[in-house]
Structure 1
Amino acid sequence: MKTNAGRFFEDYRVGDTIVHAIPRTVGSGERALYHALYPARHALSSADSFAQGCGLPASPLDDLIVFHTVFGKSVPDISLNAVANLGYAEARFHRPVWPGDTLASRSTVIGVKQNSNGKTGVVWVHTEGHNQHGDLVLDFKRWVMLRKRDLDAPAPETVVPELSDAVAPGSLHVPHGLDFSRYDTVAAGSPHRWSDYEVGEKIDHVDGVTIEEAEHMLATRLWQNTAKVHFDATNREDGRRLIYGGHVISMARTLSFNGLANAQMMVAINAGAHANPCFAGDTVRAWSEVLDKADTDAAGVGALRLRLVATKGDSGALPLRDEAGKYRPDVLLDLDYWAVMPK
């Protein structure tokens, strides 16, 4: 048998390391498609001239291009048979990725837990992405719910990893050479700097975007994400294709430009949850809350810890959770991340 049906829950063992196939060289084509799909507008990843004015040799690829590419490499081995990708933690962007770099990834299984229904289970993995020089560019932990192939397979010993609530400010990786001391707010599109934001402040990003099947399918293919729930309408009982959660992340991050245009780079993802499924026809809106602020050692560079919430309801007014503490059905994404911004 030469075809591969993918791994199921009972195929994972804590400690296993899986090297993911098909390294990928990324370039200006991925950037153009990314900016067309969302459309991203942060200046540092849009213009070489702006990036050079900030101390970098050229414009790096968008951080989420790197995330989606590394994530996509892992899908055939980790989440091909997923019911849903549940969340993220402890993600760090270690260094910029430039057009022409080649990315490869590998994952280590760090936790398993069978669900009480005996039909599915949760697997936790630590995924690393490296460039062609072997340098670590990104690592993150995520957990995914998977089907069992054999319902009679015995449940493994439960191992649930301990995950940090947030990446410590002192361990954030600011790109070497990044210097915001001569930052051009006119070119960036906003006068609001790090000092203009206060902890506890909430920002309604105002705009909304209706998700379409065509753009979702293009995006999911672009990142070589082969999870069946995104492509095969017969894979879910409701006959609907699930929108890739990363598509929602990128859409929400793009919407956040209106209010956070100078949050130029994501340097860490502290935690993330896909609270409810997203389907074609849903209109995504977003709001952010400032959770924390930190200094960095880079000239003129501060860090903001932001909570980005994507909804398919009224963005600014929607409570996140109901009285029982569960996410309300209109909440799509709850993402906690660090971004760098001019001081």
Structure 2
Amino acid sequence: MLAKLFLIAHLLQYTFSQQTLSGKSLVNHVNTIQTLWKAEYFEISEEEMKFKVMDSKFAFPEEQISSEPYNSLPGSLSRAPTSFDARDYWPNCKSIKMIRDQAYCGSCWAFGAAEVISDRICIQSNGTDQPIISPEDILTCCTNSHGCQGGFVLESMKFWKSKGVVTVGDFQGDGCIPYSYGSCSDCHTAQTTPKCKNECQVKYTKNEYKEDKYYGSSAYRLSTSNAVRTIQSEILRNGPVEATYQVYEDFYYYKSGVYEYISGRHMGGHAVKIIGWGVEENVNYWLIANSWGTGFGENGFFKMRRGNNECGIENYVVAGMNSSDYLIIDEILLFYYCLE
């Protein structure tokens, strides 16, 4: 009930006129009334928009709100750098730079998890282990979620801890379980959830399914108390995190700049990977990797306003650890990044 009330209140703050603008009129409106970000029009139907997101309830899962409380890391940072980009801080971890494509399946929750897990395994192994984790293994075999309809992001982290996750190579890739769907530039229908396979594809001979598994040691939700600093501290110490938020029509047309909701209908919930933050034109932002391919936004990445819980982005953030020990970061590099 709490999650439903939160969503209703979130939606009611926007006027009827904001929600009824659409298509080219919406893009023109966005570009006319503000300069914080730029929109670019392309042909996409409302139905196709909804294929790329999940049910809103998964962005605010009521039954998860009080579970797995976040325990502050030892030596939490008293200050954070003005800007931070995980791609630069851990340059040897190729997964941080990758942009994937979920196609017309609401599998963002599984993609965000697979990306965060890939990054953290690399970071916590100091770059010696760099698997690209399979989102489809999570999407199809995490029984506490709903496949292409959406899923709870904390459940995806719990799945990593309890069941383990295997490798991938994206669509038709060389890993254990590649993603079943390619880019959907020519698709016009929603894709259905594939079946849980529990075995690697035939051409993958490195490991059997069970031997290919990577396991996490913890899964947790970050506290919403002092959310910005908590998220920053977690990313600095352990790597990217997964976050959920509500998606509106104007977001699909995002091309560059710092996104904030301007106008358009509510489309659903979404999950993404936050890799850093910064300031642009005196506006604080989160630096985020989307899973809609490199054609979206800034080569697949985007910036979202930070500090005001834009579209709920700071409300439900999760992560997990590959090792039982917290990452020992390079204190000299951290000092450099924390200088303002």
In the superposition, the TM-score normalised over structure 1's length comes to 0.29
Judging by fraction of residues, say which structure has more strand: 1
Higher relative contact order, structure no. (Cα contacts within 8 Å, ≥ 6 residues apart): 2
Structure with greater helix share of residues: 2
TM-score by length of 2: 0.29
